[in-house]
């Protein structure tokens, strides 16, 4: 292993291995639609069953990894990091469309093993299991990227996401979510009937930072610092994740650099989602998936996102930029409405458009302001403005 590669890897400590074992042994409910029963699944069990199915179908499995926020939680639990999705990566060979299909059928057939024993499985097809338990399926097949994703439903947002990767050019957004824990050594221990993990007897478990420098990425994770490279390579530019980190009190590792990179994040986001309706769907989907049980944080998130878009968008025409800003603002006001929260009226400037029958040209608008930058509301057209760029 070269010195450069050495910098990417590190061995887990015993305390980290204990947390990893807890995560892999936790029972996660996979909720069925309609009358289908809930499947109680341990990650280590479904990983084992899927791997066995793939090998039986002659799909080569290079390694199996735990990815993203779950890996970060295991490495640095004490700084309050949490995780939603359980993101498991199977390194596989997918030379043709046939292998994609084999992988999908193997996973769906594996789910049958987790149905209660009282269920008659004979007439249940793979398509039935997909309709009942799969939240989303993704397949990417390009010159540089060949992978598929099967996400299993969980009503509390902790989806089990099984990703099958032949090649993936970009495997992280920011340094703090760039970690992957290679599971093969601990999975082999689980297969032994008399296994027992102890401080004196446990396998060596290796973690890798796809960011490049493991120690630097760990410093960022421990100190809640934001750093990335080439955000224009990320689908969506990493803009939504970046705003999420900001609202969770992460700070830029380099303020000047991140301000420059914000422009690339915004540019890539608007390239991938050029239409305001697409942008809204993407933002609403992100809120649903990443703020379950954190309703009060949605408004802060949207206002943080609005601030970044307002300050760093250089690729849109003026009216396009205003449309996006207004859309985000309306989403934020909708969130407040859903929570029955009324903004502080002391900082609000309201302009009411006169009714058609009012002919007095000296009609006076209603104004309230006490020391803070005002919020301006005009129904036609809708517009909200603050000196800082954020409501």
Angle between helices 126-133 and 97-112 (to 10 degrees): 70
- Side-chain-facing half-sphere of 89: CA atoms under 13 Å: 21
Name every residue whose Cβ is closer than 8 Å to that of residue 294 and which is 6 or more positions away in sequence. Answer: none
In angstroms, the Cα distances linking 71 to 48, 179, 212, 252, 318 are 19, 6, 16, 21, 41
Residue 368 has a pLDDT of: 43
What average pLDDT does the segment 361-373 reach?
Answer: 48
Q: How far apart are the first and last CA of the chain?
A: 51
Answer yes or no: is pLDDT of 100 > 60: yes
pLDDT in tens, 212-229: 999 999 999 999 999 999
Residue pair 229/286 in contact (Cβ under 8 Å)? The answer is: no
Long-range pairs of 95-99 with CB within 8 A, sequence gap ≥ 24: 95/166, 97/141, 99/59
Residue 317 has a pLDDT of: 84
Residue pair 181/20 in contact (Cβ under 8 Å)? The answer is: yes
DSSP 182: E
pLDDT confidence bin for 292, thresholds 50/70/90: confident
SS3 assignment, position 313:
coil
In angstroms, the Cα distances linking 336 to 245, 293, 295 are 21, 15, 10
- Kindly state the tokens that stand for 192: 């032994």
Dist CA 262 CA 225 (whole Å): 15
pLDDT in tens, 37-62: 999 999 999 999 999 999 999 999 99
pLDDT confidence bin for 281, thresholds 50/70/90: very high
Dist CA 249 CA 238 (whole Å): 17
């Amino acid at each position: 292993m070269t010195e450069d590669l050495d910098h990417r890897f590190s061995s887990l400590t015993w305390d980290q291995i204990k947390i990893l074992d807890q995560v892999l042994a936790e029972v996660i409910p996979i909720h069925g639609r309609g009358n289908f029963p809930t499947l109680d699944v341990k990650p280590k069990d479904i990983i084992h069953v899927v791997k066995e199915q793939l090998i039986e179908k002659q799909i080569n499995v290079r390694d199996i990894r735990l990815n993203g926020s779950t890996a970060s939680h295991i490495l640095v639990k004490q700084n309050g990091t949490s995780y939603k999705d359980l993101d498991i990566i199977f390194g596989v060979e997918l030379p043709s469309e046939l292998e994609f299909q084999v992988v999908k059928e193997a996973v769906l057939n594996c789910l049958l093993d987790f149905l209660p024993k009282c269920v008659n499985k004979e007439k249940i097809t793979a398509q039935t299991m997909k309709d009942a338990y799969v939240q989303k399926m993704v397949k990417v097949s390009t010159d540089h990227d060949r992978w598929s994703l099967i996400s299993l439903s969980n009503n509390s947002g902790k989806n089990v996401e099984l990703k099958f990767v032949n090649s993936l050019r970009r495997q992280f957004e920011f340094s703090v979510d760039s970690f992957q824990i290679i599971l093969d050594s601990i999975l082999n221990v689980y297969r032994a009937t008399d296994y027992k993990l102890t401080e004196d007897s446990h396998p060596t478990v290796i973690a890798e930072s796809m960011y490049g420098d493991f120690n630097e990425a760990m410093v960022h994770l421990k100190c809640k610092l934001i750093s990335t490279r080439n955000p224009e390579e990320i689908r969506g530019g990493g803009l939504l994740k970046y705003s999420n980190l900001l609202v969770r009190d992460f700070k830029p590792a380099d303020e000047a650099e991140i301000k420059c990179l914000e422009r690339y994040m915004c540019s890539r986001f608007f390239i991938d989602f050029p239409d305001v309706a697409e942008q809204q769907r993407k933002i609403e989907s992100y809120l649903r998936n990443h703020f379950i049980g954190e309703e009060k944080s949605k408004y802060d998130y949207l206002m943080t996102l609005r601030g970044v878009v307002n300050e760093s968008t250089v690729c849109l025409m003026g009216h396009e930029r205003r449309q996006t800003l207004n859309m985000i603002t309306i989403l934020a006001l909708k969130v407040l409405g859903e929570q029955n929260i009324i903004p502080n009226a002391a900082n609000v400037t309201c302009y009411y458009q006169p009714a058609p029958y009012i002919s007095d040209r000296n009609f006076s608008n209603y104004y309230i302001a006490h020391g803070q930058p005002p919020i301006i509301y005009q129904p036609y057209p809708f517009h909200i403005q603050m000196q800082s760029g954020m409501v």
